[in-house]
DNA sequence: CTGTTAGCGCGTTCAC
DNA sequence: GTGAACGCGCTAACAG
């Protein structure tokens, strides 16, 4: 066994492909990135050479030279929220046919964590950034603006987005649901948010709730705001707590993931008639809502579509097209038996 | 306005930091990647210079030189499955304190799509790959083996993993649940899988189901295998179909996401007593199971822990430590009122 | 503990 | 439609 055989097999480079195909490296580069600018016959020879040699391009080299990668970085609080997973799925599907890839990190709703993640992400020289948060540390804002890449915020629609905001109005959604409950004649409407999620989205929803309460001429009462654990079990437990502490409550608006469904199940178990004893409303229209008894009144937020719009907007921006700075994809009030 | 003012501001490079701190570039590099090998005082000067100049490293350059990136690529069928989202969350949390990032793509259970994605991913020169599939195209296997990076498969525990497999046995899980139902005296046990998910995991589960049926001395009957849409609504609809087509069925094992819960809800609605008229079992123990009436018998799969083990294993391998090629994290049969 | 040297593999720029 | 030359910013290898 001589030295040649023992040496680590050198990586197949673009130059090797070029030699094999009898062209210059740059022609291979063009055949890969802009096939239309290369003669079909040349392209064919290059494709064959790539096949024969098993060539796999090196994006690190390409990114270094071109000063930009094909990575889209995404920072979300958590993947396990069904709503966020839907959005990610939408982005993923939108980017799949393109050459861009999705780099994901979870911040757990901490602005400091977001900043830390972002700093590391920017070292990848991403071509775009997606943030679910709309409130950031000053340093974050500085880093993002300085990077010069498209930045998409998806959590809410702030009046002045950092760059582009795509989503819906948490304020309007919560106001709309609360107004619906008030219009049905409920007088003691409780509002439930997730403990772990006291962020700007929650704040906006509380603002919306208060606005509707005021408009309906009902008394403002912060004792009707309740924190809750997430999930079905959290919702069930919180409903029991609410009715124990404030028996006059006749409607509850659950804004946490699946908590509304949990409340319906708790009512069945306890024998509380819905909506006669207490009306229930949920946030995010998952498949569960229409299978419950009674069916659950919810807000349908177009999470998957938001993801798709994020992908489209990134692609448009990278192609140099103008895009709307604020894209409101709205929401839908799904009134069902529980209210 | 002269030329200098109009020129795009040149990126701050490591060399600039080095000059500012009065050291060589390599020392800056070391201060960032292996701080322990640099004197504290030097490190302090470098940190200050980085602060002052607002330096953000360039991973493309680093990866090019070191021939390896800090990217872990992950290919899963979909993010919207709660089970997969939990696993991703586990990986994400495990990698967060390290310098590694997670690049995600969804393959929709297509091997061809997986190959396409992988080919693009390998151009990033990732430091590790995670695949939920355990069955791949030949080309995929070749690419992965040739890349020389750690490859973790998570969907099942094949006898001969490509590299490392981390997860649980779909066969044993399904066998265990079916055996439980048989031991309770049910004689006509139906098995429900997701239409869209006829993959090797489903096949293993069907094998497990059949093994338990045979061992219990029950007749083999492929007419008891039913495809179903996903989600609560899919499960509800499928249960109705099963009892209409095969009224003798006295137990149904739902292996799709949330379909078992949908079946329980359908029974409540139709007035079918569970488990007297029909017993119901589900797959994956979400919070919903214990909130239903009756509570739902399920299989608890440690999805989040699997994600954590994936992260740990990648880190171990990259640190040059040996790791087990097959890590069985098991499952737990959660017997509740529905069976 | 710190520095010198020498590329990594590709794409931009400009010429033909 | 194709090519030559150069350098992107960083770190491996070795020396001191």
**pLDDT (0 to 100) of residue A181:** 98
pLDDT surpassing 60 at residue A2? no
**pLDDT (0 to 100) of residue B2:** 34
Sign of CA dihedral A227, A230, A233, A239: positive
pLDDT tens profile A201-258: 999 999 999 999 999 999 999 999 999 999 999 999 999 999 999 999 999 999 998 9
Within its chain, how far is the Cα of B305 from the centroid?
10
Tokens of A12: 């197949």
Residues of A (263-292) whose Cβ lies below 8 Å from B: 265-266, 268-269, 286-288, 290-292
Protein-nucleic contacts, chain B 53-82 to strand C, CB < 7 Å: 61, 64-65, 67
3-state secondary structure at position B2: coil
Q: How far apart are CA B102 and CA A103, in angstroms?
A: 6
Q: How far apart are CA A39 and CA A30, in angstroms?
A: 10
Chain A touched by B326 (CB under 8 Å)? no
> Distance, in angstroms, between A195 CA and closest chain B CA?
17
pLDDT tens profile A90-124: 999 999 999 999 999 999 889 999 999 999 999 99
**pLDDT (0 to 100) of residue B204:** 97
**pLDDT (0 to 100) of residue B4:** 34
CB nearest to B85's CB, from A71, A79, A123: A79
The pTM (predicted TM-score) of the whole model is 0.94
Q: How far apart are CA B84 and CA B111, in angstroms?
A: 17
Q: Of B120, B273, B135, give the one whose Cα is nearest residue B203.
A: B135
pLDDT tens profile B233-257: 999 999 999 999 999 999 999 999 8
Query: DSSP letters of A172-203?
Result: HHHHHHHHHHHHTT--SEEEEEEGGG-SHHHH
Cβ within 8 Å, pair A233-B290: yes
Q: Of A268, A280, A224, give the one whose Cα is nearest residue A247.
A: A224
pLDDT surpassing 60 at residue A3? no
Average pLDDT, integer, range A10-35: 89
Cβ within 8 Å, pair B86-A80: yes
Average pLDDT, integer, range A37-46: 89
Question: How many angstroms separate the Cα of B174 from the Cα of each of B85, B213, B241, B281?
Answer: 21, 11, 22, 11
Whole-number distance in Å between A68 CA and C12 C1': 13
Closest Cα in chain B to A73: B103
Query: How many Cα atoms sit within 13 Å of B251 on the Cβ side?
Result: 23
Cβ within 8 Å, pair A293-B269: yes
Edge-to-edge strands, sheet with A279-281: A225-228, A189-194, A251-254, A279-281
Residue A9: pLDDT band (50, 70, 90) is low
Closest Cα in chain A to B10: A67
In chain B, residues with a C-beta closer than 8 Å to the C-beta of A60 are 59-61, 63-64, 69, 124-125
In chain A, residues with a C-beta closer than 8 Å to the C-beta of B59 are 60, 123-125
Q: How far apart are CA A155 and CA A199, in angstroms?
A: 10
In chain B, residues with a C-beta closer than 8 Å to the C-beta of A67 are 11
CB nearest to A102's CB, from B89, B104, B123: B104
Cβ within 8 Å, pair A56-B143: yes
Q: How far apart are CA B186 and CA B251, in angstroms?
A: 6
Q: How far apart are CA A204 and CA A210, in angstroms?
A: 10
Assess whether A42 (CB) lies less than 7 A from strand D: yes
For nucleotide D9, the protein residue with its alpha carbon nearest to C1' is: B61
**pLDDT (0 to 100) of residue A34:** 86
Within its chain, how far is the Cα of B202 from the centroid?
16
pLDDT surpassing 50 at residue A7? no
Are B257 and B301 in contact, with CB atoms under 8 Å apart? no
The number of residues making up chain B comes to 339
Assess whether A67 (CB) lies less than 7 A from strand D: yes
In chain B, residues with a C-beta closer than 8 Å to the C-beta of A88 are 79, 104
User: Cis ω on the peptide bond leading into residue A275 (within 30° of 0)?
Assistant: yes
Chain A touched by B119 (CB under 8 Å)? yes
Q: Are strands B189-194 and B151-153 parallel, antiparallel or unpaired?
A: unpaired
Closest Cα in chain A to B54: A143
Q: Which stretches of chain B score pLDDT less than 70?
A: 1-9, 197
Question: How many angstroms separate the Cα of A26 from the Cα of each of A29, A31, B57?
Answer: 5, 9, 28
Strand C bases contacted by the protein (CB, 7 Å): 1-5, 7-13
Phi then psi dihedrals of residue B279, to 5 deg: -90, 150
For nucleotide D12, the protein residue with its alpha carbon nearest to C1' is: B66
3-state secondary structure at position A153: strand
Are A281 and A338 in contact, with CB atoms under 8 Å apart? yes
**pLDDT (0 to 100) of residue A109:** 85
Are A262 and A234 in contact, with CB atoms under 8 Å apart? yes
Tokens of B324: 């087990």
Cβ within 8 Å, pair A265-B57: no
3-state secondary structure at position A234: helix
In chain B, residues with a C-beta closer than 8 Å to the C-beta of A106 are 89, 92-93, 96
**pLDDT (0 to 100) of residue B68:** 87
pLDDT tens profile A279-310: 999 999 999 999 999 999 999 999 999 999 99
Q: How far apart are the first and last CA of chain A?
A: 81
Q: How far apart are CA B103 and CA A171, in angstroms?
A: 33
Q: What is the 3-state secondary structure (H, E, C) of B300-334?
A: ECCHHHHHHHHHHHHHHHHCCCCCCCEEECCCEEE
Residue A5: pLDDT band (50, 70, 90) is very low
Question: Angle at Cα A164 formed by Cα A163 and Cα A168, nearest 5°?
Answer: 140
Closest Cα in chain A to B88: A79
Query: DSSP letters of B65-107?
Result: HHT--SEEEEEES-S-SHHHHHHHHHHHHHHTTSS-EEEEEE-
Among A25-39, A305-319, B288-302, the minimum mean pLDDT is found in A25-39
pLDDT surpassing 80 at residue A196? no
**pLDDT (0 to 100) of residue B196:** 77
Assess whether A39 (CB) lies less than 7 A from strand D: yes
> Distance, in angstroms, between B42 CA and closest chain A CA?
22
**pLDDT (0 to 100) of residue A6:** 36
């Amino acid at each position: 066994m001589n030295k040649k055989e023992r040496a680590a097999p050198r990586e197949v480079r673009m130059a090797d492909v070029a030699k094999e195909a009898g062209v210059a490296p740059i022609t291979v580069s063009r055949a890969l990135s802009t096939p239309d600018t290369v003669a079909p016959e040349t392209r064919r020879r290059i494709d064959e050479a790539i096949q024969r040699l098993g060539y796999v391009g090196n994006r690190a080299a390409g990114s270094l030279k071109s000063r930009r990668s094909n990575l889209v970085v995404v920072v979300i609080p958590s993947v396990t929220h069904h709503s966020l997973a839907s959005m990610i799925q939408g982005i993923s599907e939108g980017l799949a046919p393109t050459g861009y890839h999705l780099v994901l990190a979870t911040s757990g709703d901490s602005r400091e964590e977001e900043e830390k993640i972002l700093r590391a992400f920017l070292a990848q020289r991403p071509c775009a950034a997606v943030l679910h948060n709309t409130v950031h540390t000053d340093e974050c804002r500085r880093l993002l603006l300085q990077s010069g890449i498209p930045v998409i915020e998806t959590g809410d629609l702030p009046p002045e987005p950092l760059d582009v905001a795509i989503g819906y109005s948490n304020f309007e959604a919560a106001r709309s649901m609360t107004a619906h409950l008030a219009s049905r004649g409920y007088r003691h409407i409780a509002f439930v948010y997730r403990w772990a999620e006291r962020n700007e989205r929650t704040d906006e929803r509380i603002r919306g709730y208060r606005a509707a309460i005021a408009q309906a001429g009902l008394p403002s009462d912060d004792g009707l705001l309740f924190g809750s654990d997430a999930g079905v079990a959290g919702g069930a437990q919180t409903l029991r707590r609410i009715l124990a502490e404030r028996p006059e409550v006749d409607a509850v608006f659950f804004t946490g993931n699946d908590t509304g469904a949990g409340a319906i199940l708790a009512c069945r178990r306890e024998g509380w008639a819905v909506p006669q004893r207490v009306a229930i409303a949920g946030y995010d229209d998952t498949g569960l809502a229409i299978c419950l008894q009674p069916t659950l009144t919810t807000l349908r937020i177009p999470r998957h579509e938001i993801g798709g719009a994020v992908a489209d907007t990134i692609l448009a921006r990278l192609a140099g097209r103008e895009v709307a700075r604020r894209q409101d994809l709205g929401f839908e009030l799904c009134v069902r038996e529980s209210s």
